[in-house]
Structure 1
Amino acid sequence: MKLRRWLLLGLLVLVIGAFFAFDLGRFLSFTYLKEQQAALQVMVAAHWLTAAGVYFLLYVAVTAFSLPGAAVMTLAGGAVFGLLGGTLLVSFASTLGATLAFLISRFVLREAISRRFGARLAAIDRGIAKDGAFYLFTLRLVPVFPFFVINLLMGLTALRTATFWWVSQVGMLPGTLVYVNAGTQLARLDSAAGILSPALLFAFALLGVFPLLAKKGVTLMQSRKALRAFTKPRRFDRNLIVIGAGSAGLVSAYIAAAVKAKVTLIEKHKMGGDCLNTGCVPSKALLRSAKFVSHVRRAQEFGMRSAAVDFDFAQVMERVQQVVQRIEPHDSVARYTELGVEVLEGAAKITSPYSVEVNGRTLTTRRIIIAAGAAPLVPPIPGLQEVGYLTSDTLWDLRARPKRLVVLGGGSIGSELAQAFARLGCTVTQVEMEDRLLPREDPEIAALVLERFRAEGIDVHLAHKAKAARRQVDHKILVCEHAGQDVEFACDEILVAVGRAANVKGYGLEELGVELSERHTVAVNPFLQTNYPTIFACGDVAGPYQFTHTAAHQAWYAAANALFGSPFKRFKVDYSVIPWATFTEPEVATVGLNERAAKQRGIPYQVTTYGIDDLDRAIADSEAHGLVKILTVPGKDKILGATIVGEHAGDLIAEFVLAMRWKLGLNKILSTIHIYPTLAEANKYAAGAWRRANTSPRTLAWLERFHTWRRGSVRAEPPSARSQRRTA
């Protein structure tokens, strides 16, 4: 295979080299065509079939080898074979030649491109598999893009050869007709530029608009097909109904009300959703109390002879609820009603793509947004239901501190809660199925968190898979499998924190036939539409990220597309720069790619690391631990991703989020003034480390010579004299 590939590549080089070496292009020029027009017409009249065959083969060869001159040959086809004959010959010859160029590109180049840019090519292939025919058709209709470039690039993708052939045949026909027709008027043209007359340019402009109209038509037909079984109301009660009042739902309703749409927000449980009531807010309140306790225990690090703290666990949990209650007004029914949102409390059920039932009423609406959120995932472990367990939803009812707590799960939620309860006096055992904590992060990042956990007395067991639970007289036992052996952990409570599952049942999705993804979330397209074009989904129920800030980000796109996407512009949701943080101590914050993700996608990268133990403010705060780790394009300052481990990492990552969002490189961060002494200086020093690593030794050597020259000639002195001078 490799030999044949090299032989074909050699043939290509030979043909193209000969074409230019012998100036064969002069025979495919407009001037030569004008000079030979009469002779060619006489020859065609005498031997039409032979001339047509030679012309056809020559056209195929020029197109297959991507040689210049196809445009002039198209004009020639019209000039000597007429409109009908020229169009037939050029249409089939150009398609055959283009398909050969497509296959040559695939055979010679695709394997090498795939090895180097595997992940990117795979993403392109997924898009081609879905919309490749339409993309190719669009490119064929717009002659601004050189057809030989299209042939070669499409050959690098996974587009089927048959699809390439028939789409090219149909897509190039209108342009071929225009050019051949121009060729029939060859005698009136003074130069090839004449083809770009205002009339022809207008025709090409119409060709460019056609694919947009075609795509709109296809979208319209798909919508009508999906909605065919339902009767569309002649009048709607509302512009938008939002199901779920968590982060995604609240933002969707807020945006709709802000643009004066009539919007109804339906929530069956509590306003604010998981984030306010059982997630972000209560967990961070608990972490803050636990952190205070840990600081008291570290009193000697801060120069104190001793310090003590006396606390009541129930009082700590009551403080958590007080924090929730203080924030509740931000997400309350009263606030959103004042903003212009109709808020209904009750269980919603989608009864059609145009209607929702709640509290015995049926409401009609032009669009529906599903923002039903997610719930803790509880694996089917034998005996777990019988012995009882806690989740991140139910643990907030605790008022008696469990003496022994087993935390099942080593992700963000499990790790945050394990550390918090350990600091509040529980004996904590953390069990993780993977071979490290925080599986999303790079190994050395997770190792820093593991080191702190064990230093604080958390008993962490990695590569342990839970397989059963049972109850003894006065305690519970979680049975795990490790290295083929059963290991038992005794405890008072089991906290299950292995992830969250989208809420997709109980409100009409099954009956209506709303499609689900492989991850068992509501399946949506890039515009956040479900298989019903009037129903959208965003937030945890849709994924792919289960972060409050991502849910709010998606909500903007869902609301804008639901309210204005038809008949106006639709917006594809942008996932290019998604940050996240784990609020353990040390905190871990990441945006973009880390090494683990870059390796999985086959993306080349350069790593720059700065240790925060060297940072003045961190030393002053007795928090001199952690690091800043940046991935960049090799040899360039373009940021692919960043991870920060250390105090306030979740705050410090914002600078890299901003830089990546607006395409600012590390040189821009390095040239930005950072207040001294602050933890934020770590970002600048990391950028400086990148600069030093990417400064050429040759450049530094030339700079040294330059500065030596600037100081003037220096008389050489023996080494002994220099040594005596340094001693003095």
Structure 2
Amino acid sequence: MYKKGFILLLLLALAGSFFYFDLHQLLTFTGLKQGLAEFSQWRDSAPWLVAGGFFVFYVLVTALSLPGAVILTLAAGALFGLWQGLLLVSFASSIGATLAFLVARYLLRSTLQQKFSQRLKAIDDGMARDGAFYLFTLRLVPLFPFFVINILMGLTAIKARTFYWVSQLGMLAGTIVYVNAGTQLAQLESLAGILSFQMLVSFALLGIFPWLAKAIINSINKRRRYAQWQKPKQFDRNLIVIGAGAAGLVSSYIAAVVKAKVTLIEGHKMGGDCLNFGCVPSKALIKSAKVAHMMQHAEAFGLKQQGLKSEGSQSLNFSFKHLMARVHNIIADIAPHDSVERYTKLGVDVVQGYAKLLDPWTVQITLADGQVQKLTARSIIIATGAKPFVPPLPGLEQVGYVTSDTLWQQFANLEQAPAKLLVLGGGPIGCELAQSFARLGSAVTQVEMADRLMIKEDIEVSAFAQEALTDSGVKVLTDHKALRCEQRGEGKFLIVEHQGAELAIEFDQLICAVGRSARLEGYGLEQLGIETNRTVQTNQYLETLLPNIFAAGDVVGPYQFTHVAAHQAWYAAVNALFGQFKKFKVDYRVIPWTTFIAPEVARVGLSEQDAIQQGISYEVTRYDISDLDRAITEGAAEGFVKVLTKPGKDKILGVTIVAEHAGDIIAEFVLAMKYDLGLNKILGTIHSYPTWAEANKYVAGEWKRQHAPQWILALLEKYHQWRL
């Protein structure tokens, strides 16, 4: 901080000296013409000394962003001629500009980073892609003040060496014009004589040229990418969508609504993972587990069974097979929402088969009966989703395992929940399943390699989640690295490493829940050259390397949530159908998510650990759920609402809620962040009593109390005392 202050004072002193000693008078057109004869005598007597002094002076003027660089450029032509003057000015201006750039970066960027990190990140991402190009086009147009460019570029993340060489090249054309004008200084009457209207138009066209060149280069590269294939003269469809999960269903629905001819291809089950293996069955299981837990603890609700002598939780007898049948019935009840019949009625051509891209416009479909058909489309959306990741753990295949996809079938006929269940993975899926099965009577051991559960959340949230799972009967083992699986007689064991020692954990059933990976194989992506590094690589418009092929949902990331897949689907469909007129960049600014353990964990925006990692300043406001009337009435008075705001302001940066119904409660904050509504707006909104949503108003009130102007309250206190 002191170094910055010293540098700032030094710069101010140098700039002040420049004006105090009237040096700015030398850097006017009149001053230059009047002093030219004297300058010429100095040059003749000491040419190298004058050239060196001129070079240093030019660097200082440019570095300090002082007015007069144009006059100095004219002087270079008048004193040294075109070529020597061009050499001096070209390097001096670029070096001075780079110094101004570095000073602006050192003095200002860190402060702006703390206050506007989110906005700067978007700018920095753009500069990483096209920063050199933007800078070059700005340097070509001398109408835009170069000293402003130097300072503004210093606030971005563009590399200093890139800034220097681009400035060196970009300013060359303008420098030649001014240095050449300086060689004819005697004939010039004013600066206006240098740049005529025609010259200004020429420079403007020169600035536009790189954009035209970029468009031409992009067109050439696009043609080159498609060169090996013959584009159809006509197409069977406007759009083909591969995959009928959330992203595929939404994108095909949008296409049908705008009357496009669209085909949706699904090789397995309509509704994708969410309906058949993920969101729907898991939430049905969680509800049954919650009811079982409440029945076991009915006494806490004043419902003690007659004749029950023992205290504590009650034993529970039920058919696990019947419970799993309920799960499948719920899937069947929701399935019509995503069915072939419904989407056909909406105007979507639904084909059940396996799709493979033959070229950028042609999809080969292998039907269930072995027949093959081909369809062409102007645009294609890849929405093939993700599948559970199975780690290459020695012995895993021999002992057997299930995933979050396969357990619904493999456990369907079990009369009782697995006696000894091992859950491998401490993320949201692993935590949800571990707690549910523990509540349903399984002896559950959960193994996580990291030092805590739910590593993406704040430490206190992880601790809360672990305590909740432990209270439900889960044996949580963090910092335990799975090494291998072994079959020892009739027993199955997972061998883990903890603090340098190996431990053996026995189990009957193992659920592998260590994450999900994109479905990339078998769709012909590799043959088309589409990049697939864990996910399909797309740009901000969800275009792949081939701009008529898009991707959306879990196959793209970066968030593997059903609601994000649906969100991306809108952008993919609209860009695919109308991109020739207008393209939309996918917006990830406000993404909520919920982990459905009890109590639920919901979040939107920044967590504390995110803010710290990104260097973002924040304030924390908390409200304890134990104080909420509705939570007390439901016997669920545990958890909290934590809101991150800008220091001193009510602008919401992020919210974490740990509570029953947290996934529902957080919706109000999602809306507020989406439309930039602060905590004051939430505080001024009426909430029904008694409801869970009141927690949002109370945390807003807590923020208001912390930021109440104390001096006004002190005056009010005196006023009321006077009124007495």
TM range (shorter): 0.7 to 0.9
2:270 and 2:340 in contact (8 A); partners too: yes
Q: TM-score, normalised by structure 2?
A: 0.86
Q: Which residue of 2 aligns with 1:329?
A: 336
1:286 and 1:320 in contact (8 A); partners too: yes
Q: Which residue of 1 aligns with 2:94?
A: 95
1:613–1:108 CA distance, 2 compared to 1 (3 A):
closer
2:405 aligned to 378, 393, 397, which one?
A: 393
Q: Which residue of 1 aligns with 2:557?
A: 543
- 213-222 or 665-674: which moved more? 213-222
Instruction: Read off the aligned partner of 2:446 and give its amino acid letter.
Output: Q
CA distance in structure 2 between the partners assigned to 1:128 and 1:121 by the alignment:
10
Q: Map Cα deviations across residues 315-334 of structure 1 (whole Å, 9 max, x no partner).
A: 11111111111111111112
CA distance in structure 2 between the partners assigned to 1:634 and 1:556 by the alignment:
35
Instruction: Read off the aligned partner of 1:421 and give its amino acid letter.
Output: F
1:411–1:705 CA distance, 2 compared to 1 (3 A):
same
- 7-16 or 367-376: which moved more? 7-16
2:137 and 2:208 in contact (8 A); partners too: no
- 291-300 or 572-581: which moved more? 291-300
Task: State the 1:153 CA deviation.
Answer: 3.8
Q: Which residue of 1 aligns with 2:369?
A: none
Task: State the 1:163 CA deviation.
Answer: 2.9
Task: State the 1:555 CA deviation.
Answer: 1.4
Task: State the 1:625 CA deviation.
Answer: 0.8
Q: Which residue of 2 aligns with 1:378?
A: 390
CA distance in structure 2 between the partners assigned to 1:659 and 1:195 by the alignment:
54
Q: Which residue of 2 aligns with 1:443?
A: 459
2:449 and 2:481 in contact (8 A); partners too: yes
Instruction: Read off the aligned partner of 1:150 and give its amino acid letter.
Output: I
Task: State the 1:86 CA deviation.
Answer: 9.3
Q: Does 1:423 align with 2:459?
A: no
- 700-709 or 676-685: which moved more? 700-709
1:533 aligned to 547, 559, 562, which one?
A: 547
1:454–1:171 CA distance, 2 compared to 1 (3 A):
same
- 150-159 or 606-615: which moved more? 150-159
Q: Does 1:317 align with 2:342?
A: no
CA distance in structure 1 between the partners assigned to 2:659 and 2:106 by the alignment:
50
Q: Which residue of 2 aligns with 1:522?
A: 536
Q: Secondary structure at the match of 2:403?
A: coil
1:37 and 1:80 in contact (8 A); partners too: no
Q: Does 1:432 align with 2:451?
A: no
Q: Which residue of 1 aligns with 2:576?
A: 562
1:62 and 1:97 in contact (8 A); partners too: yes
Task: State the 1:543 CA deviation.
Answer: 0.9
Task: State the 1:412 CA deviation.
Answer: 0.7
Q: Does 1:339 align with 2:339?
A: no
Q: Secondary structure at the match of 1:512?
A: coil
CA distance in structure 2 between the partners assigned to 1:636 and 1:548 by the alignment:
33
Q: Secondary structure at the match of 1:695?
A: coil
Could you say what the CA RMSD is over the residues aligned between the two structures, in angstroms? 3.7
Q: Which residue of 1 aligns with 2:309?
A: none
CA distance in structure 2 between the partners assigned to 1:186 and 1:491 by the alignment:
96
Instruction: Read off the aligned partner of 1:469 and give its amino acid letter.
Output: C
Alignment of 1:273-672 (within 5 A): 273-306=272-305, 311-359=318-366, 360-397=372-409, 398=411, 399-400=413-414, 401-517=417-533, 520-565=534-579, 567-672=580-685
Q: Secondary structure at the match of 1:154?
A: helix
Instruction: Read off the aligned partner of 1:606 and give its amino acid letter.
Output: E
Q: TM-score, normalised by structure 1?
A: 0.86
Task: State the 1:646 CA deviation.
Answer: 0.5
- 117-126 or 654-663: which moved more? 117-126
Instruction: Read off the aligned partner of 1:657 and give its amino acid letter.
Output: V
1:689–1:545 CA distance, 2 compared to 1 (3 A):
same
Q: Secondary structure at the match of 2:452?
A: coil
1:637 and 1:666 in contact (8 A); partners too: yes
Q: Secondary structure at the match of 1:541?
A: coil
Q: Map Cα deviations across residues 160-202 of structure 1 (whole Å, 9 max, x no partner).
A: 444323422443456668989999999999998x999998887
Task: State the 1:413 CA deviation.
Answer: 0.6
2:114 and 2:617 in contact (8 A); partners too: no
Q: Secondary structure at the match of 1:402?
A: coil
Instruction: Read off the aligned partner of 1:643 and give its amino acid letter.
Output: T
- 215-224 or 247-256: which moved more? 215-224
Task: State the 1:514 CA deviation.
Answer: 1.7
1:645–1:423 CA distance, 2 compared to 1 (3 A):
same
Instruction: Read off the aligned partner of 2:354 and give its amino acid letter.
Output: A
CA distance in structure 1 between the partners assigned to 2:684 and 2:70 by the alignment:
51
Q: Secondary structure at the match of 2:283?
A: helix
- 111-120 or 345-354: which moved more? 111-120
1:44 and 1:81 in contact (8 A); partners too: no
Task: State the 1:475 CA deviation.
Answer: 4.1
1:205–1:674 CA distance, 2 compared to 1 (3 A):
farther
1:653–1:630 CA distance, 2 compared to 1 (3 A):
same
Runs (5+) with no aligned partner, structure 2? 307-313, 367-371
- 622-631 or 221-230: which moved more? 221-230
Task: State the 1:546 CA deviation.
Answer: 0.5
1:164–1:625 CA distance, 2 compared to 1 (3 A):
same
CA distance in structure 1 between the partners assigned to 2:704 and 2:565 by the alignment:
36
Task: State the 1:109 CA deviation.
Answer: 6.8
- 453-462 or 164-173: which moved more? 164-173
Task: State the 1:85 CA deviation.
Answer: 11
1:646–1:177 CA distance, 2 compared to 1 (3 A):
same
CA distance in structure 1 between the partners assigned to 2:143 and 2:645 by the alignment:
34
Tell me how many residue pairs correspond in the alignment. Answer: 702
1:99 and 1:165 in contact (8 A); partners too: yes
CA distance in structure 2 between the partners assigned to 1:200 and 1:393 by the alignment:
68
Task: State the 1:707 CA deviation.
Answer: 3.5
Instruction: Read off the aligned partner of 1:396 and give its amino acid letter.
Output: W
2:496 and 2:504 in contact (8 A); partners too: yes
Runs (5+) with no aligned partner, structure 1? 713-728
1:677–1:326 CA distance, 2 compared to 1 (3 A):
same
Instruction: Read off the aligned partner of 2:346 and give its amino acid letter.
Output: L
- 569-578 or 138-147: which moved more? 138-147
Q: Secondary structure at the match of 1:529?
A: coil
CA distance in structure 2 between the partners assigned to 1:7 and 1:634 by the alignment:
27
1:320–1:154 CA distance, 2 compared to 1 (3 A):
same
CA distance in structure 2 between the partners assigned to 1:473 and 1:628 by the alignment:
50
